[in-house]
């Protein structure tokens, strides 16, 4: 193991440098893990930037776990009611006071301050995301979306106060899922039409829970992170701007919502889910690029692609052209000057036999082209 595995309460289940036995593998599968990060003796010198420290992520996971429990307690008497009844209850002064007295917003800001401190100095967005299971997916996904959105916001030259607003909204963007039964959220097969319609209510329910209790801009993130540029998103079918500059008209997606929409999909596609494996990173970037204008703000997409490496450090790759055609290895380094031309270390030949490592700088050896492959 090269990275420790933790549960939804930030307890270490399996520490780094522990040998993976069959017993451990079975247990991890039972807990919902589909992937782990493995240490290779020929890659011990490779450093994977995790963007935020283990202590920062641990504190954020713990905060979200405790916050969701507090909210569950607040809504327990009407959680299973109709959507209309839930909204009516959420608008009551009693529930608003209960949420405000919970201290969730103040503690969220403190967590975000620590995340910002870690991320603010990063120059590029590492494409390797956190290990997620059905139990901790919402927590780690929310943290990763916050990190990605901060990086996009930095590229758009948002100030620290704006970055904090974006990150707070991202950390709470899926809070409305407390009203969605776990058997639907963790379903391994395709959702029925009725189930999907219920899932689509989570932005509205999250917005109703938070509005009047936290600043307005983070609540718009909660409300709008599933809206699309062409108006085909939900819950309101808002149109986007497709530029950073804001146009006229109030019935449009706010900038923060457009940033989060991209970060949300990117992290979701890069993550293992109960119903599918994570998609390959270069495939995800191609999808995002192809979805500019229709799904994502095109200008934000361009800025995003300028800070995320196509082949993140640690990615398994195969040579698809050049002298070492068919050889396999891993990305060992990227440079800010050329994110899409990494240094790679070849470990297997075209017959999949282990070889003495060969280091190649693809920014110099132009005939070497690579693609990401599954481990």
271 with 357, same domain: the answer is: no
Residue 185 lies in a domain: yes
The answer to whether residue 311 is domain-embedded is no
Which residues constitute the domain of residue 337? 316-372
Instruction: Give me the torsion for CA of 190, 192, 196, 198, rounded to 10°.
Output: -140
pLDDT in tens, 213-258: 999 999 999 999 999 999 999 999 999 999 998 866 668 999 999 9
Pairing mode, if any, of strands 328-335 and 316-321?
A: antiparallel
* Same domain, residue pair 63 and 93: yes
- With a pLDDT cut of 70, the percent of the chain lying above it is 90
CB 332 within 8 A of CB 359: yes
DSSP 205-257: HHHHHHBTTB-HHHHHHHHHTT--TBS--SSS--B--SSSS--S-SSB--HHH
Kindly state whether residues 194 and 330 are assigned to the same domain: no
Based on the fold, state whether residues 168 and 37 are members of the same structural domain: no
Last residue of a domain, one of 305, 334, 353: 305
> Average pLDDT of 319-339?
93
The answer to whether residue 164 is domain-embedded is: yes
Percent of the chain exceeding pLDDT 90 equals 69
105 and 72 fall within a common domain: yes
Dmax over CA atoms of the chain, in Å, equals 70
- Does a cis peptide bond (omega within 30 degrees of 0) precede residue 357? no
Residues 205 and 67 in one domain: yes
Same domain, 192 and 225: yes
Q: What is the pLDDT of residue 1?
A: 39
Higher pLDDT, 220 or 38: 220
Q: Are residues 29 and 78 located together in one domain of the fold?
A: no
The rounded distance, in Å, linking the Cα atoms of 311 and 257 is 27
Q: What is the pLDDT of residues 151-206, one digit of tens each?
A: 999 999 999 999 999 999 999 999 999 999 989 988 888 899 999 999 999 999 99
* Residue 107 within any structural domain of the chain: yes
Indicate whether 218 belongs to any domain.
yes
SS3 18: coil
Q: Are residues 101 and 222 in the same domain?
A: yes
CA distances from 289 to 62, 113, 170, 302 (A): 34, 31, 22, 8
**153 in a domain, yes or no?**
yes
Same domain, 222 and 335: no
Query: Which of 283, 305, 327 lies at the terminal end of a domain, its last residue?
Result: 305
CA–CA distance, 9 with 58 (Å, rounded to integer)? 8
More confident: 39 or 114: 114
Instruction: Show the 3-state SS of the chain.
Output: CCCCEECCCCCEEECCCCCCCHHHHHHHHHCCCCCCCCCCHHHCCCCCCCCCCHHHHHHHHHHHHHHHHHHHHHHCCCCCCCHHHHHHHHCCHHHHHHHHHCCHHHHHHHHHHHHHHHHCCCCCCCCCCCCCCCCCHHHHHHHHHHHHHHHHHHHCCCCHHHHHHHHHHHHCCCHHHHHCCHHHHCCCCCCCHHHHHHHCCHHHHHHHHHECCECHHHHHHHHHCCCCCECCCCCCCCECCCCCCCCCCCCECCHHHHHHHHHHHHHHHCCCECCECCCCHHHHHHHHHHCECCCECHHHHHHHHCCCCCCCCCCEEEEEECCCCCCEEEEEEEECCEEEEEEEEEEECCCCCEEEEEEEECCCCCCCEEEECCC
Boundary residue ending a domain (305, 336, 355): 305
CB 142 within 8 A of CB 129: no
Question: Do residues 18 and 69 share a domain?
Answer: no
Q: Are residues 143 and 211 in the same domain?
A: yes
Exposed, middle or buried, 283 (CB in 10 Å: 0-12/13-18/19+)?
middle
Structural domain contains residue 115: yes
**Number of domains present in the structure of the chain:** 3
Q: What is the pLDDT of residues 88-146, one digit of tens each?
A: 999 999 999 999 999 999 999 999 999 999 999 888 887 655 656 555 788 989 999 99
Instruction: Indicate whether 310 belongs to any domain.
Output: no
The 10s digit of each residue's pLDDT in 65-91 is 999 999 999 999 999 999 999 999 999
77 Cβ contact list (under 8 Å, min separation 6): 89
């Amino acid at each position: 193991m090269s990275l420790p595995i933790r549960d939804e309460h930030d307890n270490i289940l399996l520490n780094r440098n522990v040998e993976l036995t069959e017993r451990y593998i079975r247990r991890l599968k039972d807990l919902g893990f589909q992937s782990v990060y493995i240490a290779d003796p020929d890659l011990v010198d490779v450093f994977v930037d995790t963007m935020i420290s283990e202590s920062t992520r641990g504190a954020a996971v713990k905060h979200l776990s405790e916050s969701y429990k507090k909210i569950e307690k607040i809504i327990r008497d009407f959680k299973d009611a109709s959507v209309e009844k839930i909204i009516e209850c959420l608008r009551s002064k009693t529930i608003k006071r209960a949420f405000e007295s919970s201290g969730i917003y103040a503690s969220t800001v403190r967590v975000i301050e620590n995340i910002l401190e870690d991320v603010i100095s990063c120059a590029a967005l590492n494409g390797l995301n956190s290990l997620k299971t059905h139990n901790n997916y919402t927590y780690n996904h929310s943290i990763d979306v916050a990190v990605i959105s901060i990086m996009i916001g930095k590229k758009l030259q948002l100030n620290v106060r704006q970055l904090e607003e974006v990150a707070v909204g991202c950390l709470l963007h899926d809070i409305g899922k407390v009203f969605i039964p776990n058997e639907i959220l963790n379903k391994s097969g395709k959702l029925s039409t009725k189930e999907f319609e219920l899932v689509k209510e989570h932005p509205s329910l999250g917005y109703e829970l938070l509005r009047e209790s936290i600043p307005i801009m983070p609540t718009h993130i909660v409300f709008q992170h599933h809206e699309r540029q062409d108006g085909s998103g939900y819950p309101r079918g808002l149109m986007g701007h497709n530029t950073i500059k804001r146009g006229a008209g109030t019935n449009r997606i706010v900038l923060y919502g457009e940033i989060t929409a991209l970060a949300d999909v990117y992290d979701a596609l890069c993550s293992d889910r109960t119903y599918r494996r994570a998609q390959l990173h270069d495939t995800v970037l191609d999808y995002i690029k192809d979805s500019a204008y229709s799904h994502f703000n095109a200008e934000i997409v361009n800025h995003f692609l300028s800070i995320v490496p196509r082949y993140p450090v640690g990615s398994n790759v195969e040579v698809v052209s050049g002298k070492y055609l068919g050889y396999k290895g891993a990305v060992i380094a990227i440079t800010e000057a050329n994110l899409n031309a990494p240094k790679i270390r070849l470990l297997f030949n075209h017959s999949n036999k282990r070889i003495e490592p060969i280091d190649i700088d693809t920014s110099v050896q132009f005939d070497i082209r690579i693609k990401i492959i599954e481990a």
